[in-house]
Amino acid sequence: YAVCGGGLELGFLFPADYSLEVWVKQNSKEPQAYISKWTGSGGQSAWWLGYYEEVVQFGDYYEGGQVRPKGTDIADDQWHYLVGVREGTNLSLYIDGEKVAEGQSPGEVSGDNPAPVKIGGFGVGEKASWPFKGLIDEVRVYCRALTEKEIKERYELIKSGKKQATLEALPSEEIQTPLVFGVVEGKINLIYDKKDPIQFSVFLIADRPTDKKEEKKVLFLLTNEKNNIIDKTEKIVTLEKGERNKEVLVSLPPKGHGEYNLEVKIGDDTKMKKNIMVKDMDIISKENIKIREERKKTGNLLYRGIISAYAGLRYKGNNPDVDATISLLKDLGVNCYTHLIYTRSEKELACLPEVCTKAEKEGIEVWVYLVPPSEAPINVKKPIEERRYPPFDMDYLKWAEAVAKISVEHPNLTLWMIDDFDGNVGFFTLDYTREIYETSKKIAPKLLSGVCVYHDSIENFVKKGYLPYFDAVLWGYQHSSYIDPDCGISAKSLPLEINDYYKICPNKILVPCIYFSAHSSWPKGRPTKEYLEEATKIAYEQAGVVWVYCTPSPGNFRYGVVKNYINSITLEKWK
């Protein structure tokens, strides 16, 4: 796939009309994105043109909804000309010069998200989702609506082989309609500290480059939960001739604890709304530390303070090299190792007793991490009953039994967990989860069971009745760049998430996963060294656990962050 810009290129945000155009040749019927500016969220401003549900589709997304006109199946290994057009609130999809589908959109700003423009995929991270398999040519994006006449002429021209140069502008009539202006987010935090000013930025955007200097009054209103205006400020924003956007920086004085609504207006028209929260992070952090210290006083070794490396089993040829793995863990200084059973599952399970034996000699506790059906290493795209995860495949009762039996012989194996549990609750029903939990406890009463449930899902997960059937809960902190634009840069919201887990999951062991290796949704250049130092310190001091995803290799700054922090504290070994 090809990336056009870094995700913040405002030339691809459309407050009004736009068009997408490609020629493609494919025979694969898998979901594929031809061109997109889309994170993958179904209810966030975005646009894309691609192949889904075995037909061509044109997606125009807005906050809270989406419209997707659907065409026909073109997976016939022949060249096809595809155009998606938004004109006003009307959406049109063309295949080979003919209109094949229509739809109605609210006509809101499209493409307002952190994803880069991608040709041949979509998403924020380096890995593209819906990768295109085929040939693609003549990719164009317009900040106006192509006419039906233009589309037919363009189709016949390129089909005839007498096409214009790709970078040559198409002849078209001068656009006479007034400029359309919008406002989109720049950098706005979801949570602000009570002691800090509320600083943020937005962008004033136009639907096309200005043909003269333009000035706009932009009004910022901050209201409380009762809709009373708490603060307001006005900015005069100037777009010089030829510009399409301008960043506007705003700083409001600190506000008290509570929820607020930020509204941005041009004239009488509201162009953007955003909910923000102000919290007293000092109080929340002190409460977390108090809970952690009270737990530590119980004498339970799991509350002694744990820093766990995750995955990273070393191999010598095709066989696990347990000695090399333990040597790395010993040098790093961790007192826990989470053993991932995944891509070479049979070998990884078979070497678990050896890992436990050699880890115990070095005072290292061992946890086990299994993957759910959605991450099955073999046949993951097939129906669940056909997916493979040797040796027990989708039988998690047998997995629970196997791990529990090993823990009986190796007391330093204290916890086992299943990844992305909340994303697989259709499989892990309440009854099945209870059965898995009881199977483990029957064999090894002291062995703890854990689940991975993300912060945005944990409250609903507990309400469904799962609380009695897990002892520990892991979550990936800042697992989505859409939810957390500051992912990998600032860990200011971590105390709040820890506090939420303490309250929603009382008496459960909290395992905050800190992404030392960037989450797949994160932009390039993250995490920073400063972020990892901040997140590690907060997680250890306030939750008592740092789960290092993934085990870093010697010689990089991630390795140094873990080792330096461990050297700055007294980390109690397993005994």
Tell me the C-alpha distance between 75 and 27, whole Å: 4
Q: Please identify, among 218, 244, 279, the residue that sits at the C-terminal boundary of a domain.
A: 279
Same domain, 402 and 523: yes
Same domain, 307 and 251: no
Same domain, 346 and 491: yes
Q: Would you say residue 109 lies in a domain?
A: yes
pLDDT of residue 173 exceeding 80, the answer is no
Q: Would you say residue 165 lies in a domain?
A: no
Residue % of the chain over a pLDDT of 90: 81
- Domain that residue 437 falls in: 281-568
CB-based contacts of 293: which residues, under 8 Å, 6+ apart? none
pLDDT score recorded for residue 10: 64
Q: Would you say residue 257 lies in a domain?
A: yes
Q: Would you say residue 167 lies in a domain?
A: no
Q: Would you say residue 285 lies in a domain?
A: yes
Q: Please identify, among 251, 279, 307, the residue that sits at the C-terminal boundary of a domain.
A: 279
Same domain, 393 and 533: yes
Q: Would you say residue 166 lies in a domain?
A: no
Same domain, 132 and 145: yes
Between these two residues, 178 and 408, which has the higher pLDDT value? Answer: 408
Q: Would you say residue 575 lies in a domain?
A: no
pLDDT score recorded for residue 9: 60
pLDDT of residue 214 exceeding 90, the answer is yes
Same domain, 315 and 408: yes
Could you report the per-residue pLDDT of 101-141, keeping only the tens digit for each?
999 999 888 988 878 899 999 987 677 889 999 999 999 99
DSSP state of 350: H
Picking from 228, 230, 266, the residue whose alpha carbon sits closest to that of residue 248 is: 266
pLDDT of residue 363 exceeding 80, the answer is yes
Same domain, 242 and 360: no
Q: Would you say residue 174 lies in a domain?
A: no
Mean pLDDT (the chain) is 93
pLDDT score recorded for residue 174: 57
Same domain, 189 and 153: no
Tokens of 564: 């330096």
CB-based contacts of 255: which residues, under 8 Å, 6+ apart? 192, 194, 198, 222, 230, 231, 278
Could you report the per-residue pLDDT of 50-86, keeping only the tens digit for each?
999 999 999 999 888 899 999 999 999 999 999 999 9
pLDDT score recorded for residue 164: 60
Same domain, 247 and 327: no
Alpha-carbon torsion, ordered 323, 564, 513, 510, to 10 deg: 100
How many distinct structural domains can be found in the chain? 3
pLDDT of residue 469 exceeding 80, the answer is yes
**Band of residue 44 on the pLDDT scale cut at 50, 70, 90:** confident
pLDDT score recorded for residue 167: 58
Domain with residue 217: its CATH number is 2.60.40.1930
Q: Please identify, among 231, 254, 279, the residue that sits at the C-terminal boundary of a domain.
A: 279
Same domain, 268 and 288: no
Same domain, 405 and 447: yes
Q: What is the mean pLDDT of residues 167-188?
A: 72
pLDDT score recorded for residue 407: 98
Could you report the per-residue pLDDT of 16-41, keeping only the tens digit for each?
999 999 999 999 999 999 999 998 88
Same domain, 128 and 230: no
pLDDT score recorded for residue 178: 83
